[in-house]
Structure 1
């Protein structure tokens, strides 16, 4: 199964954060006055008197314990305290039963649910950001479960098609997989568009959606947060995350690449200006790259006489294997490499973290598409080269 197929569960990123382990620190009880700080009042079913609940703050890489509360005989509990700024917090009964909330001073949050299946049953009131985060969590959970249910069947069909050499069937199954993921992402993106100034949106575009593939949306959130919450660590973190991506965002002029072709002579990316150019990052040792090559060859043969060129950037280190793969796969376009593998200068400047990866440029060198595969690449080319 390809890397793209394995990205079925990318929408589980949020739930993965919820299930992360808390840092072992001494919990601090809330000491601020109720008027000045936050208050969480709750009532849980199936939580015996004496049940301990834990409040933890979502830090940069893990949860940090902040407070504890004890459930009474009616299932009621209360957290009070103060926070330096609006932020994401976890209320946890145990590793399987926990939820995320947004806390800020002045917040009066009401949390209810079944302690034995909290993520499925909880409701939160009194905090618009927490209610928004609940909608995101529910959407992510539904998407993850749909993907998990479909994964075994699709994976089996994909492997059978691969063994039989049925590339068309493989592509069709892969599209089904991607459609499952896209459906869940679309709902989450719509929620973000409706709430661009929330710390929840900063978390979502950084940790749930792929900020590179959703750069425009993420940048909109960052711009809004810089106006409303310029000193927030969530704002600063998102801005810092996006800055390296800005140079290769859709709409930007692609950074120059100047590497050696197989004959040893340098070929610049800008030497292909005036044509639509696909920058194709690949390597001879990359199985998914080699399986994608027939699709790239098909698109090249269809559009090479209509102002389309490919600039292949290899992450190989072995010159012989690189050249053999070019010949074996029938890759008759422009090729370059500095034979430095993942340390490739081009890979570094384009922040390539996995391959195959591709970037489509217009004749002026502006980025108009990223990571287009198979029919998606042909459809894009057909659209722009009418």
Structure 2
């Protein structure tokens, strides 16, 4: 009897294992295209940003892709002429995707991670719908140049945006121990302070921390600690347009702004022009700026410097996004900056020109 019971348990375990080892299936329909290729791309947290997970063939406007993943995986389903679809792949999950030209793909089905992702997307969808409700009145106010109405709408939009952002933060915290939340954290960690990254990362299980995005965050934490507020920023040396070597530590000032920018970043150029009067006002009191360009094209870099007329020192290694300084300084997006004291200790990160103008009198000991 015991032997029979043992065999039943053993067979049951084998059958359960077989079910658990099944892969994912994606069934897709494509409007307007009878034949073609569909690719599932995977974002990698390395310098080689994308990897091809699978390739499917469209026939008679339909395709089926089957595969297996070693761990939950964020995939991007793409086809020429179509908008891409994000899928969080899990084994034993089935996904249905409908793609049409100039339309956002519709994804249904999937596993638990896809459901969590969709819940996050729903928050953004509701925000967009709320914006659309009063956009006609906003457009009318702009056309009539009604300043009072414009300020009213801007204030309303700002409050709405803040409310939805708080909802998204709360949602991510609620689902902090999910692969989706971990993946989301990994994609934005470079733009966050180390304490915030660690706090969100600690919501994840040890199993999740062993996944690819988890390992990436683990490797990133020590680097983020080097540029945390209160830490001493690492030194570097880069060349000016004239070929001279300039280092961060060799740039003297009671307060220094290390500004990261590029010639094709419109927001960067806009902020640079706003920095100029602030620099001219506080330079004699000990304020200095060192601008580090993430350009690859020397001509474009030099042209932008001349057009903007910034009077401070400009340097670059002309390696663009592959510059090692991206990782060292946690540059996630541009513009980015660090405000440092005379000993290169970080006072603030990623501040606007308005914030800089407010902070300088205090840090330069100019307040009465």
Aligned residue pairs, count:
272
Provide the C-alpha distance between the structure 2 equivalents of 1:322 and 1:189, rounded to a whole number of angstroms.
37
Alignment partners' CA distance in 2, 1:137 and 1:383: 45
* Counterpart residue number, 1:258: 237
In structure 2, the partner of 1:184 is: 164
Query: For the residues of structure 1 that align with 2:124 and 2:233, how far apart are their CA atoms?
Result: 34
Q: Hey, what's the Cα distance between the residues in 1 that align with 2:154 and 2:336? A: 16
Secondary structure of residue in 1 paired with 2:288: strand
8 Å contact from structure 1 (residues 260, 337) kept in 2: yes
* Residue in 2 that maps onto 1:142: 123
Residue 316 (structure 1) shift: 3.6
In 2 relative to 1, CA 328–60 (structure 1 residues): closer, same or farther, beyond 3 Å? Answer: closer
- Aligned-residue CA RMSD (Å): 4.7
Name 2:314's counterpart in structure 1.
Answer: 335
**1:326 equivalent in alignment to 2:305:** yes
Is there any run of 5+ residues in structure 2 with no aligned partner, and where? 1-13, 21-67, 76-86, 99-105
Measure, in 2, the Cα distance between the counterparts of 1:173 and 1:337.
Answer: 41
Residue matched to 1:211? 189
The structure-2 alpha-carbon separation of the partners of 1:282 and 1:201, relative to structure 1 and needing over 3 Å to count, comes to: closer
Residues 354 and 232 of structure 1: CA distance in aligned 2, closer, same or farther (over 3 Å): closer
The Cα offsets for residues 207-241 of structure 1, whole Å up to 9 and x where unpaired, read as 6xx2233342221233454xxx3243566632423
Deviations along 1:175-211, whole A, 9 cap, x unmatched? 987765544333333455577666665345336xx22
- Asked whether the 8 Å contact 2:95–2:107 carries over to 1, the reply is no
TM-score, length-normalised on structure 1?
A: 0.53
Map 1:1-386 → 2, pairs under 5 A: 31-32=15-16, 58-61=72-75, 62-64=87-89, 66-67=91-92, 95-98=106-109, 101=112, 133=116, 138=119, 140-147=121-128, 150=131, 153=135, 181-190=161-170, 201-206=181-186, 210-215=188-193, 216-223=195-202, 225=204, 229-232=205-208, 237-244=213-220, 246-248=222-224, 249-251=227-229, 252-272=231-251, 275-347=254-326, 349-350=328-329, 352=331, 354-381=333-360, 384-385=363-364, 386=367
- Deviation at 1:98? 4.5
Where structure 1 has 5 or more consecutive residues not aligned to the other structure, the ranges are 1-29, 38-55, 68-88, 103-118, 120-129, 165-169
